[in-house]
Structure formats: C-alpha cells, structure tokens
Amino acid sequence: MAKRGSFSYTYRSMPPFTHGFFRTAGASLPLKVADPAHNADLVVEMVLRAEAEGVHLLVLPELCLSGATCCGLFRQETLLTAVEEALLSIISKTKDCGCVTVLGLPVLCENRTFNCAAVIQKGSLLGLVPKSHLPGGGDFHEKGFFAPASALRTSSLRLAGYDAPIGTDLLFRAEGSESLIFGVEIGEDFLAASPPGCRLAQAGALIICNLSAQGELAGRHEKRRGMVLGQSARLCAGYVYAGAGAFESTTDNVFSGPVLIAEDGNLFGEGERFSRTAQMVVCDMDTQRLSARRRSGAWAAARTD
C-alpha cells in the first residue's frame, strides 16, 4: 500500500494485457436472498468463468453476497457472520485467479453496518469501499439498515481473517502499469450531484466500477443507460455497471439484472435484462486511447493526482 495525496493505492499483479487493451466484465447472478453460502458458490463459478475468458476486472452487483432485499435481516448478526464466512470461502477458492473481482456485501464496522464493495484477487482482500449516498425512500430505505460512508471513523478493518483498507478514497492500480487505475462507487452514488466517480477519476481512475441494486420502473433503464454513457464521456473513462438480477424480486420491487459497459461515451456491451440464469458481459477497453484523451484540454486541467 502506498499513499499519494488523499488517496490510497493498492498494487497487485493482474493478468498480462497488451497494446493497452484491458478486458473488463460485468455480471448478474441468480442469487438467493439471505443465503450467503449459496451466493458464494455462484460468485466462485463466475470468477472461474471470467478467469478462463482472460478477464482482468470482474464487477458483480451490490450486496450480491447477502441479497439486496434482506431488509431487517441486515441488523442480524447471523446474516453478517454468514456473509463474512462466504467471503472467506470465495477468497480461498479463487486464490489462483489473477482476475480482480469487485463484489457487494454488508460489512459490520465500529458497531455500524455499511453497504460495501469488496475488491479481491489471488487469495487477498485488497480493500473495501463503503457506499456514500443511501436512499431514504423509493426503492429502498437503506438509511434504516446502513450507515453512510461519512460515518466511517477508521481507515482499516479486519474481515474474513484479512486486514484491509476501507474508505471512499481507495484506488486500485495494476502492478507495472502507471495508467491502469480503477475506482469503485455503489448504486445511487452515481446519481448524486457530485458522484464519487468524478473525484476518483480526477485522482487518476481510468475505469469506474458501479455495483448496483436499483429496481426497475417504466423508462428507468433508458435513463440508466444514458447516465452510464454520460459519466464515461464526461470522465474520459471506462464504466462498468452491474445490477441486481430478477431473483431479488422478492418484495414489491422488481429487478432486471442490467449490465452495461461503456468507454468514453460509447456503449461497448449490454446484457439481457430479466435473465433467469447467470450472465456475463465481456468487453476490451482501449486504455491507451483513454489515457491519450486525458492528457489534453480541460480534462488535463481537472486532474488532482
């Protein structure tokens, strides 16, 4: 771990990528709500599948280890303990995989529960990123179950037997690459007036990952797609969005499992919505092209790294 400015950088080896093309993937899973052991098996299958296809970075949905619709169960220690055990199982079973995986889970820290993204690779927990903006109505009442990232008072946490950094200031860089950096935001974070992804991109992130559990409404997917494309264009970045799937539809909310991958305002890949099986969308991003655009004009002046 090394520090640069107010951001933390985690260095790890990734599978080799040539000519600046970096293989990313987003996936949706047919999970079971409140069954972390079952969901962990699905995650392991997807990571192994991604590894076999040469994926460097795999993004899975928000709270995919527990299910996003657990509601009051998020307050139960039984669920949180089962999630931690499931995470340990995933890390152990994918210890030989160079693919970096970003997955969602509830995390107990300082007697508060945070909606987090865990970044894992090669048998290690590289970091945890908590959600910043929690919806208080509409699809969910997350403020009743989770604390926002602003309530976090520590920069490290021991989870599943690993000591890992935790915070919204984490950036992850491939060892041996000065430009290949990615950051993480969660769900409604990208709907905020000042999304965390903007700050991460200004600090050097070339790819933004968004783990989401946004429900479906009439016309929402078109708006979602437009925002993903707009963010990737504004930030001159790659954007990987993975949403909760149809098996989360256990309450009055409906979920479709949207997967979107964009690069600099262009849609490179989109998954099938309402799929009843696991799906993965794979796209190669041209990081050299993104880096070249970042070195010019107004964007260069906005950099903070």
Q: How many CB atoms lie within 10 A of CB 298?
A: 6
CA distance 106 to 286: 33
> Position of tokens 């499931």?
86
The candidate with the shortest Cα–Cα distance to 56, out of 182, 150, 162, is: 182
How many alpha carbons lie under 13 Å from residue 230 in its C-beta half-sphere? 9
CA distance 208 to 200: 8
Q: What is the dihedral of CA 230, 46, 123, 207, to 10 degrees?
A: -10
Domain ranges of the chain: 2-302
Mind listing the pLDDT tens digit of every residue in the chain (305 residues)?
Answer: 333 335 666 655 565 566 678 999 999 999 999 999 999 999 999 999 999 999 999 999 999 999 999 988 999 999 999 999 999 999 999 999 999 999 999 999 999 999 999 999 999 999 999 999 998 765 567 888 999 999 999 999 999 999 999 999 999 987 767 678 999 999 989 888 889 999 999 998 999 999 999 888 888 889 999 999 999 999 999 999 999 998 887 777 889 889 999 999 999 999 999 888 999 999 999 988 898 888 876 666 666 65
**For residue 213, which amino acid is it?**
A
H or E element: which one contains 128? strand 124-130
* Chain centre to alpha carbon of residue 28: 12
Q: How many CB atoms lie within 10 A of CB 266?
A: 10
pLDDT at residue 39 in the model: 97
Would you say 232 and 262 are in contact if contact means Cβ atoms under 8 Å apart?
Answer: yes
pTM of the predicted structure, to 2 decimals: 0.93
The candidate with the shortest Cα–Cα distance to 146, out of 183, 168, 118, 116, is: 116
How many alpha carbons lie under 13 Å from residue 29 in its C-beta half-sphere? 31
Residues forming beta bridges with residue 26, ordered by sequence position: 59, 281
pLDDT at residue 138 in the model: 52
**Yes or no: domain 2-302 corresponds to CATH 3.60.110.10:** yes
CA distance 213 to 242: 8
The residues, any chain, with a CB within 8 Å of residue 47's CB and separated by 6 or more, are: 58, 90, 94, 97, 99, 101
